[in-house]
């Protein structure tokens, strides 16, 4: 079996490579920092000669997951690399494409971020939806799509290749920038440990290729956390870590419903907060849609005990980022015109 893994040094790709073990595989990343990784900017140039020939499986995990991508950035970061991966595949290649669970989420006028994204909440989500359409329409061989939700560290240790996505909220809480959290306290907040995402990817890659396109959804489903519960777990775990070092606790920020925030508080924030604080409001506001879903996803692979997963992830983050985790929160100050 000959397996190609793109995005091999990313959050999911790192775990996938570790699980492949002795299965012959080739790792590709944008920058080949390690001798065993082939460097290839998939959106900018042809594939290296080493990637020629038939591939039994292509695990396409390369992606830019930033929620701030403009349309042209999302095309170059996510859509063009998928087309480059497809160019290496033939009708006998099993494509295992890592997407996101949020392409199957609710789209409404309230979620619009401009006509560029067609109702999706950001450029990342939109580009992953387009990628799924392209994979289904253009790949000639077997296809498995793996849809994870927000990804945190491993279930047992909390370890993760890179702190991104939901870890922004942790930093916002301890720095004082997350003065409020916008969302529905009863809304669903879906998370998954990265090792279980990798398990789904590797199981698909090493199993018999499906006869028809298959979609795996990794989520807590009915057992997923509510936003209020998620905040309780994060704050309680952070304060447990802080108490062990003699630091005062961080306060749990109030939850403000999105409609009330947009109508009453956001105009004041835009007028009176410092530019840095305003930027923090914008970044944290992107979590609204991801932590306030009215209904959970329907998983094909269920995440057990998401509260325990989140607590372990917070402890690992605090151990690796002690200066941030133990910092004294700086309260917001208003700029008086």
Residue boundaries of the structural domains of the chain: 3-147
Residue 113 pLDDT greater than 50, yes or no: no
Per-residue pLDDT of 288-336, as tens digits, reads 667 668 889 999 999 999 999 999 999 999 999 999 999 888 766 654 5
Structure tokens at 222: 């009915």
Count Cα atoms within 13 angstroms, Cβ side, for 17.
22
Backbone angles phi, psi at 63, to 5 degrees: -170, 155
Maximum alpha-carbon separation in the chain: 67
> pLDDT tens digits, residue range 45-61?
899 999 999 999 999 99
Q: Supply the mean pLDDT for the chain.
A: 88
CATH class of 3-147: alpha beta
What is the pLDDT confidence band of residue 112, given thresholds at 50, 70 and 90?
Answer: very low
Quick one: pLDDT at residue 277? Answer: 67
In sequence order, the 6+-apart residues with CB closer than 8 A to the CB of 263 are none
DSSP state, residue 45: S
Give the H or E element holding residue 57: strand 57-60
pLDDT over 50 (residue 184): yes
- How large is the average pLDDT for residues 236-249? 96
Average pLDDT over residues 186-194: 93
Report pTM. 0.90
Asked if pLDDT for residue 274 goes beyond 60, the answer is yes
């Amino acid at each position: 079996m000959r397996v190609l893994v793109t995005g091999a040094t990313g959050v999911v790709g790192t775990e996938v490579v570790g699980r492949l073990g002795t299965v012959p595989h080739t790792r590709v990343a944008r920058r080949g920092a390690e001798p065993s990784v082939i460097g290839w900017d998939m959106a900018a140039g042809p594939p290296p000669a080493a990637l020629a020939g038939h591939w039994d499986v292509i695990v396409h995990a390369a992606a830019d997951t930033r929620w701030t991508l403009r349309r042209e950035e999302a095309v170059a970061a996510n859509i063009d690399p998928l087309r480059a991966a497809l160019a290496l595949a033939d009708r006998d290649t099993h494509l295992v494409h890592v997407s996101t669970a949020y392409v199957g989420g609710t789209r409404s006028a309230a979620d619009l971020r401009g006509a560029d994204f067609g109702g999706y909440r950001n450029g990342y989500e939109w580009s992953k939806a387009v990628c799924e359409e392209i994979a289904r329409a253009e790949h000639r061989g077997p296809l498995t799509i793996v849809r994870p939700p927000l990804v945190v560290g491993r279930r047992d240790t909390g370890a993760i290749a890179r702190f991104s996505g939901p870890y922004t909220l942790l930093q916002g809480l301890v720095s004082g920038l997350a003065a409020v959290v916008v969302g529905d306290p009863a809304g669903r907040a879906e998370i998954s440990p990265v090792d279980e995402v990798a398990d789904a990817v590797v199981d698909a890659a090493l199993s018999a290729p499906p006869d028809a396109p298959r979609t795996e959804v990794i989520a807590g489903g009915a057992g997923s956390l509510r936003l209020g519960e998620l905040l309780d777990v994060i704050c309680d775990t952070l304060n447990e870590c802080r108490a062990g070092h003699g630091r005062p606790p961080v306060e749990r920020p109030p939850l403000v419903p999105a409609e009330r925030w947009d109508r009453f508080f956001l105009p004041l924030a835009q007028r009176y907060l410092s530019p840095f604080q305003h930027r923090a409001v914008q970044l944290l506001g992107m979590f609204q849609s991801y932590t306030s879903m009215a209904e959970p996803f329907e998983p094909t692979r269920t995440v057990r005990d998401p509260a325990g997963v989140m607590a372990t992830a917070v402890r690992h983050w605090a151990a690796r980022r002690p200066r941030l985790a133990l910092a004294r929160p700086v309260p917001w100050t208003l700029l008086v015109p």
